[in-house]
Amino acid sequence: MATFTKQELLHIATLSALKLEESEVAVFTEQINTILTYVDQLAPVVIKPVDQDIRNVNVFRDDVAVKKDRDAVQAIAPEVDEGYFVVPTILEEK
């Protein structure tokens, strides 16, 4: 069932914010095809309704403001300026 193409890989790489080297494209396409062929064994499994004994309950914390140390967090940031995180240009000029 699985035929994972180079085009799909490039599309998924874009969605994943990953750049791929030319050498990686062929290798990943083949390896991911192998993996997807393996997991295709799940396709024919007939799903039976399971009587699940769900014991999970919602967990809430007290709704109170907690003071966090901004300086400690920003001390490890790549670039900050007067309390702001600095990033490169977001929109390119036309």
Partner 1 sequence: MNPFITIKELKLKLERKEISAAEVRAFYTDRIKKFNPDLNAVLEIFESNESTETGPLAGIPGLLKDNICQKGHITSAGSKILANYQAPYSATVTTRLQEAGAELIGRANMDEFAMGGSGEFSAYGPTKNPWDAQYIPGGSSSGPGAAVAAGLVPFAIGSETGGSVRSPATFCNLVGMRPTYGSISRFGIVPFASSLDQAGPLTRTVYDNALVFSALAGKDANDSSTLQREPKDYTAGLDGKLPKNLKIGIIREALEAEGIDPEVRNVFDNAVNQLKSMGATISVIDIPNLKYGIALYFIISRAEAASNLYRYDGTLYGVRSKEAKTLVDMYLNTREAGFGTEVKRRILVGNYTLSAGHRDAYYDKAQQIRAMLRAEFEAVFANVDLLISPTCPILPWKINALIDDPLAMWLSDYFLVSNCITGTPALAIPGGFAQNGLPIGFQFLGPSLSEELLYKVAHAFQENTDYHTKYPKGYE
Q: Are 23 and 6 in contact (CB under 8 A)?
A: no
Measured from the CB of residue 1, what is the shortest distance to partner 1 in angstroms?
9
Q: Rank residues 65 and 87 by Cβ distance to partner 1 and give the closer one.
A: 87
Please list every residue from 12 through 71 that binds partner 1, using CB under 8 A: 12-13, 15-20, 24, 28, 31-32, 34-36, 38-39, 41-43, 45, 47-48, 50-53, 59, 61, 69
Exposure class string for 52-86: b at 16+ Cβ within 10 A, else e: eeeeeeeeeeeeeeeeeeeeeeeeeeeeeeeeeee
Nearest to 32 by CA among 20, 45, 44: 20
Residues near partner 1 (CB under 8 A) are 4, 8-9, 12-13, 15-20, 24, 28, 31-32, 34-36, 38-39, 41-43, 45, 47-48, 50-53, 59, 61, 69, 72-73, 75-79, 85, 87-90, 92
